[in-house]
C-alpha cells in the first residue's frame, strides 16, 4: 500500500548519525542506580526494575519485561524528567522506540490515566541546553505523534511545528552567512542536528492530517527557504523528501504549485550530482 511505502521510505531516509553516536556513548556509561536509591530519587522497586531491564540481552526479553511491567518504567521515566541530564535516562528513552515501535502504547496508556497527552511530557525538553536531550526529545515526540494511536493537535502541534521551523530557519541563516548562536557546537555537529530536525518532519509528514497542519503553519515556505539557500545535499534531499510526502495528498499539490516548487526543483535537478537527490525529485514530480 502507499502508506507502507511511505513508512518504509521515511524510516530509511531519516539520518541518525550524531544521535546514534551519542547514544552509543550513553550506552557505554554505566549509571550507578544505587546512588539514586540512596538519595531517595528512585524507590527500591524502581531500582530493582531498572537493573533487571539492563540485564536483558536481547530486544525480545526487554519487550517481554516491558509488556509485563511497562507502567513501572513509564512512571519512572516521566517522574525523572526534572532531574539533571543523566545518561541512563537518555538511553532508556532511546531504547523504547528503536527496538519496537509498539512501545509508544505504554506512553499513551500512562498519559491517559493522568488525563494528559503522551508528548506533553517531552515538549518542555525542547528548551533544554543539552542538544542531545533536546533532539532526543524531538525524535520521541515525532515518533509518538507518527506511530501513536492519537493525533497531536492544537497548541501542542503548533508548538512543535514552530520549533521545527525555527530550527530549519537557523540552518537557512547559516547558509546565508547570518549570525546564529551555536555555542560550542561544531559546524558538522550543528548540521547533523538540523538533519535530525528534518528527520522529525519527515516522520510527521507520513500522516495525512499533519501534512495539512504543516501547510497551514506556512511550512511549505519554510521548506522553500531552506532549498533556496546553500545547504548540504543531505538536508536538501530531506527537504525534497518532505515535498514528496506532501504530494501524496492530491489537495496538497495545488498548494505546492503556488509556491513555485516545480521550477526550484527543476533547477536543483539540473545541478545535482547526487543520485538520491535526483531520484527523490523525480518521485516528487510523479
The percent of residues above 70 in pLDDT, for the chain, comes to 72
Max avg pLDDT among 22-26, 30-34, 130-134, 220-224 = 220-224
pLDDT tier for residue 106 given thresholds of 50, 70 and 90: confident
Q: Give the integer Cα–Cα distance in Å for 217 and 160.
A: 11
Confidence band for 87, pLDDT divided at 50, 70 and 90: very low
Ranking 26-35, 84-93, 228-237 by mean pLDDT, the lowest is: 84-93
Residue in 254, 251, 224, 253 with CA at minimum distance from that of residue 240: 224
> So what's the pLDDT on residue 183?
46
Would you state the pLDDT for residue 206?
A: 92
Residue 15 · residue 196 · CB < 8 Å? yes
Dist CA 190 CA 276 (whole Å): 23
Please tell me the distance from the alpha carbon of residue 209 to that of residue 123, in angstroms, as a whole number. Answer: 20
Mean pLDDT (the chain, rounded) = 77
Per residue in 114-160, pLDDT (tens digit) is 788 888 888 988 988 888 888 888 988 998 999 888 999 999 999 99
Our CA angle for 8, 151, 134, nearest 5°, is: 75
The residues near 36 (Cβ < 8 Å, ≥ 6 apart) are 42, 47
Q: What is the grid cell recorded at 35?
A: 546512588
Q: Does 4 have pLDDT greater than 50?
A: no
pTM of the model: 0.76
Residues 6+ apart with CB under 8 A from 157: 145, 210, 213
Range of weakest confidence among 47-61, 112-126, 134-148, 212-226: 47-61
Predicted confidence (pLDDT) at residue 193 exceeds the cutoff of 60: yes
| pLDDT recorded at residue 161 | 98
SS3 159: helix
Checking if the pLDDT of 200 tops 60, the result is yes
Q: Which pLDDT score is estimated for 180?
A: 41
DSSP secondary structure letter of residue 84: P
Amino acid at each position: 500500500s502507499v502508506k507502507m511505502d511511505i513508512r518504509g521510505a521515511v524510516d530509511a531516509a531519516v539520518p541518525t548519525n550524531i544521535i546514534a553516536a551519542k547514544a552509543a556513548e550513553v550506552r557505554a556509561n554505566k549509571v550507578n542506580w544505587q546512588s539514586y536509591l540512596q538519595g531517595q530519587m528512585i524507590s527500591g522497586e524502581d531500582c530493582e526494575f531498572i537493573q533487571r531491564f539492563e540485564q536483558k540481552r536481547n530486544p525480545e526479553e526487554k519487550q517481554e519485561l516491558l509488556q509485563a511491567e511497562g507502567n513501572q518504567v513509564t512512571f519512572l521515566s516521566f517522574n525523572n524528567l526534572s532531574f539533571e541530564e543523566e545518561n541512563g535516562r537518555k538511553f532508556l528513552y532511546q531504547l523504547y522506540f528503536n527496538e519496537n515501535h509498539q512501545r509508544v502504547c505504554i506512553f499513551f496508556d500512562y498519559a491517559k490515566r493522568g488525563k494528559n497527552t503522551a508528548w506533553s511530557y517531552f515538549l518542555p525538553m525542547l528548551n533544554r541546553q543539552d542538544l542531545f536531550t533536546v533532539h532526543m526529545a524531538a525524535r520521541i515526540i515525532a515518533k509518538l505523534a507518527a506511530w501513536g494511536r492519537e493525533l497531536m493537535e492544537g497548541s501542542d502541534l503548533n508548538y512543535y511545528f514552530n520549533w521545527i521551523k525555527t530550527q530549519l530557519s537557523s540552518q537557512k541563516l547559516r547558509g546565508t552567512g547570518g549570525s546564529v548562536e551555536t555555542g560550542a557546537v561544531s559546524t558538522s555537529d550543528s548540521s547533523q542536528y538540523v538533519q535530525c530536525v528534518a528527520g522529525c518532519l519527515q516522520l510527521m509528514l507520513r500522516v495525512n492530517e499533519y501534512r495539512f497542519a504543516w501547510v497551514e503553519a506556512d511550512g511549505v515556505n519554510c521548506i522553500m527557504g531552506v532549498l533556496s539557500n546553500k545547504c548540504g545535499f543531505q538536508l536538501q534531499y530531506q527537504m525534497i523528501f518532505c515535498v514528496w510526502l506532501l504530494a501524496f495528498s492530491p489537495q496538497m499539490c495545488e498548494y505546492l504549485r503556488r509556491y513555485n516548487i516545480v521550477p526550484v526543483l527543476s533547477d536543483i535537478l539540473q545541478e545535482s550530482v547526487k543520485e538520491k537527490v535526483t531520484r527523490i525529485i523525480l518521485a516528487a514530480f510523479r
